[in-house]
Structure 1
C-alpha cells in the first residue's frame, strides 16, 4: 500500500468572479486561473444558471467501450452548484506531452482546447445540476454555457452566475503525467 501524501497550505484570498451569459464555464475557469495566478486552489462554489451543461458521470451501464462513464449534454435552463480543486498541469521536462487520449480528455481543464502545455491551469470540478425533471451530478465538461437572465421579458440584466475561489499558498497541486501515468501530486510552493 502506498503512503498517503499530505501537505499544508494556507488560504491566501477568496476571489469572487461573476461570469457573463454565453460564457463557457470551463473556458472562464481557465481564464480566471490565469488572470489571478492561481496555481492551487479550491472552487468553493459556483452558483447560477446554465443554458446547457455537458457532464461526465459514472455510467448506468458500464461497458468496455465507454470506460465506465457516460457523457451527457442536458439543455437548460438549469440551476447549478459546483465545487472542485484547482491546480497546475505538470509533465516532467524529459517526457513528451501526454498521449492524445489524455491531452484532449474533456474534463481535465488542461486548457480550453485540450493540452495547452506544461504549467497551465488544471481543475477537476464536480457539479450538481437540476431542471424541472431531474437532478444530475457529474464532472464539468467544456460546452457548459452560462444562461441569459431576463427578468422583465424586455432587457437582459447582468448575470448572477458567480464563482468563489480560495487561492491557496504554500503547496502546489500538480496534475502530473509521467511514465507512471496520470495522478495528482503535491509539492511545496
Structure 2
C-alpha cells in the first residue's frame, strides 16, 4: 500500500481564498457559544495535505488508516471518504441498557461480503493517567493516534452503522482492489481523545471524551 498526496481545494462559501476554514468573518477564530446549557467550542484551522490510498485485499481497514496517519505524521484531520467492500465487519454500537449497564458499548461481528462507506476524525490519545495499558473498548493507548470512524455496511438483507473496530477486512474479487480512502489533515487545531479516569474505571466508555483546542498562530 503506497498512499499518495494530492492537492486539496475548497469551493465552499465558508472558505477563504487562502484555504482557511471560517465560521464567519465577524466571529473570532475561537469561541464558545451557549446552547441548551452547554458551551459549544469552535476552532478555526486550515486544510493541509490530502492523502488518497488504495488498500490491498485482506488488509485490516483500521490498521491501514493508522498506518497512513503514522506515515504521513497527521496530528489532526478528517477521513472524508471510505469506499469499498469488506469480507467481515467488527463494529461498536451502544448497548441496549444505557442506564444500568456496566459497559455502555457492545461489539458486533457481521459476515460479508459487505459494501461499506464511512467517514471520521483523526486526533491523538491523551490519557497519561491510564498508564501504558490499553483501555476502553477501542483499546486506546496514551500517545497513540486516535481514529473515530463511523462505518456503514450493507449486505443482501440489512444495513448497519457502527464504530470502526479492528477486524474489518478489505474484500475484492480482483487482485488489485478498488477499495479507496481519502484523508486530509487540518492544521491550527488540536483534537484529543482524553479521559476522566475515575469514570472510565466504572465501565468502558463512561470516561472517554474529545478535547478540542485552538493552536497558536
Count of residues paired in the alignment: 170
Among 163, 167, 179, the alignment partner of 1:161 is 179
The reply on whether 1:142 has 2:176 as its aligned counterpart is no
1:51-70 correspondence runs (5 A): 51-59=87-95, 61-62=96-97, 64-65=100-101, 67-70=103-106
The answer (yes or no) to whether the contact 1:89–1:176 under 8 Å persists in 2 is yes
For structure 2, list consecutive stretches of 5 or more residues without a partner in the other structure: 1-36, 199-206
Residue 153 of structure 1 corresponds to none
CA shift in 2, pair 1:90/1:68, >3 Å: closer
The reply on whether 1:97 has 2:131 as its aligned counterpart is yes
- Tell me which structure has the larger Cα radius of gyration: 2
Q: TM (normalized to structure 2)?
A: 0.71
For structure 1, list consecutive stretches of 5 or more residues without a partner in the other structure: 108-113, 151-155
CA shift in 2, pair 1:67/1:117, >3 Å: closer
Residue 211 of structure 2 corresponds to 185
Alignment RMSD: 2.2
Among 33, 58, 71, the alignment partner of 1:35 is 71
Q: Alpha-carbon deviation of 1:170? A: 0.8
1:20-31 correspondence runs (5 A): 20-31=56-67
The answer (yes or no) to whether the contact 2:153–2:159 under 8 Å persists in 1 is yes
Q: Which moved more, 1:169-178 or 1:63-72?
A: 63-72
- Aligned-partner SS, 1:128: strand
Q: TM (normalized to structure 1)?
A: 0.80
